[in-house]
Amino acid sequence: MSSDVPAATFGACPLPFPAGDRILIGHGSGGLLTARLVEELLVPAFRNPALERLDDAAVLAVDGGARIALTTDSYVVTPIFFPGGDIGELAVNGTVNDLAVSGARPIALSLAFILEEGLPMEDLRRVVESARAAAARVGVPIVTGDTKVVGRGSGDQIFVNTSGVGIVPAGVELSSTRVRPGDAILLSGEIGEHGVAILACREGLELEGDLSSDTAPLHELAAALLAAAPGAHAMRDPTRGGLASVLVEIATRRRVGIDIDERAIPVSEVVRGACELLGLDPMLVANEGKLCAFVPEAEAEAALAAMRAHPLGRHAARIGRVTEARAAEVVLRTSVGGHRIVDLPFAEPLPRIC
């Protein structure tokens, strides 16, 4: 960025900001560079109330009193086929999840491909088939689409954009702007599976245990949670940037403290082992089928029970709470009895993870 850009308004940046004047891989990381790009360039340019909430989907009132949610994501994951899924399934589930955590019932998706010349038609067929199957599982139609082709070396096999529209039921008001001190923080299951599966696959690592992406649609789990805890304040699905990104973003943007008990965060043995081997922090590793909820204490136990009753929430846990103290900080109480401040990574531990 040029030198007349204002100093970081997002999180702490302990280093001089070396982005220079070009886009870096880290600008797509879900870390600090992404946050700065969003908050210093994109939000100021397009400023409007729906956008400024920076939730996973924008909620809009339409004629007749209904509210719709709109969300978009492009998928550039490499490889396009990985243990537990592929880019087609990921694109459908990811956009369904952005609607689900906004409290919306998905009603329609769009699907847009940017294909690289020379892509085997069979690969496209497989991706289309798994997008179809994923949409059918959720019961959401893909109603419109687009296909572009770029020359060899101007793309990379398949990029997918899915946008989604959902209906927000009357009375549902989920937004990170509603997170309050005293909220319990619930997490639906074990973190880091998607990121570690992609990395292992990409690097040809042989890891002990069964390792695959957790890509899954969260619409039923979100609906079950909302039925049990209608006063829930916010939900997020931690993807690139991991659980840490969700927590730091909410703490920073909403000026609340977040207090997390590290021992309470579910992490499978295989992911823990892989992260130790690779030098990764599971809290920074991407998920594609996990839900993090901010729920008033009075409804926390009901919400947790509802999550645990669903197959995608059977490892659900209460991992911490929102505090008044230490506003804008995420404090992790570590398993050895100390504590540390969780920061966003400056840039990308794992590029092109989704």
Site for its own copies in 284-323 (CB under 8 A): none
User: What is the spatial distance between Cα 28 and Cα 129, in angstroms, rounded to a whole number?
Assistant: 28
**63 to 92, contacts with its own copies by CB under 8 A?**
63-66, 68, 70-76, 78
Please tell me the count of residues contacting its own copies according to CB under 8 A.
Answer: 84
**Residue with token string 């899924």:** 85
Binding positions for its own copies, 239-278, rule CB under 8 A: none
Q: Please tell me the distance from the alpha carbon of residue 68 to that of residue 109, in angstroms, as a whole number.
A: 13
Single residue of 12, 112, 207, 305 touching its own copies by CB under 8 A: 112
Binding pattern for the stretch 217-246 against its own copies, x by CB under 8 A and - elsewhere:
------------------------------
State which residue, 141 or 209, has the beta carbon closest to its own copies: 141
Check residue 24 for interaction with its own copies (CB under 8 A): yes
Applying CB under 8 A, among 4, 122, 203, 206 the residue interacting with its own copies is 122
13 near its own copies, rule: CB under 8 A: no
User: 163-192: which residues touch its own copies (CB under 8 A)?
Assistant: 163, 165, 167
Backbone angles phi, psi at 308, to 5 degrees: -65, -25
Q: Can you list the positions of beta strands (E) in 27-82?
A: 58-61, 67-75, 81-82
45 binds its own copies (CB under 8 A): yes
CB atoms within 10 A of CB 269: 10
State which amino acid sits at residue 107. Answer: I
Name the residue among 77, 85, 148 with its Cα closest to residue 111.
148
Residue 183 or 348 having the CB closest to its own copies: 348
Q: 172-181 burial by CB neighbour count: b if 16+ within 10 A, else e?
A: bebbbebbee
CB 69 within 8 A of CB 99: yes
For the bound state, the minimum distance from the C-beta of residue 23 to its own copies, rounded and expressed in Å, comes to 4
Instruction: Report the nearest approach of its own copies to the CB of residue 65 (Å).
Output: 5
| Selection from 125, 123, 122, 119 nearest residue 148 by Cα | 119
Residues 125-164 that bind its own copies (CB under 8 A): 125, 128-129, 131-132, 135, 141-151, 153-156, 159, 161, 163
